[in-house]
Amino acid sequence: MKVGCPVCGAKKVLYGHTGISCDDSVPMYFYPRGLKLSSFNGYVTLENGTRFNACVKCGHVWSVVDPKALVSLLQEKGTAAAKEELQRLLAAETTRSD
């Protein structure tokens, strides 16, 4: 199931996982799927520190990263498949608004 952005409704969504932090003073990181194994420092810092948002109706959980930093990370350290997916999503931007 392709998830849209809960804020702007765009369908250009990349999947990944986050680093674990039990301390609000330690920033959380988003690790997009498709990074090369040699990318030990391949992450984007969450813009709102450690905060995630959760919908009490549907259970959707989300946070925020700098989209330019995310694109830059994948362009620099993504696998060929991740770069292809990124280009597909970016190309859709020029043909549609989401």
Could you tell me the pTM of the whole model?
0.66
State the Cα–Cα distance between residues 62 and 5, nearest whole angstrom.
Answer: 9
pLDDT tens sequence across 12-71? 777 777 776 666 666 677 777 787 766 556 777 777 665 677 777 777 777 888 899 999
pLDDT value at 90 more than 80: yes
Q: Are 28 and 16 in contact (CB under 8 A)?
A: no
| pLDDT confidence tier of residue 94, bands split at 50, 70 and 90 | low
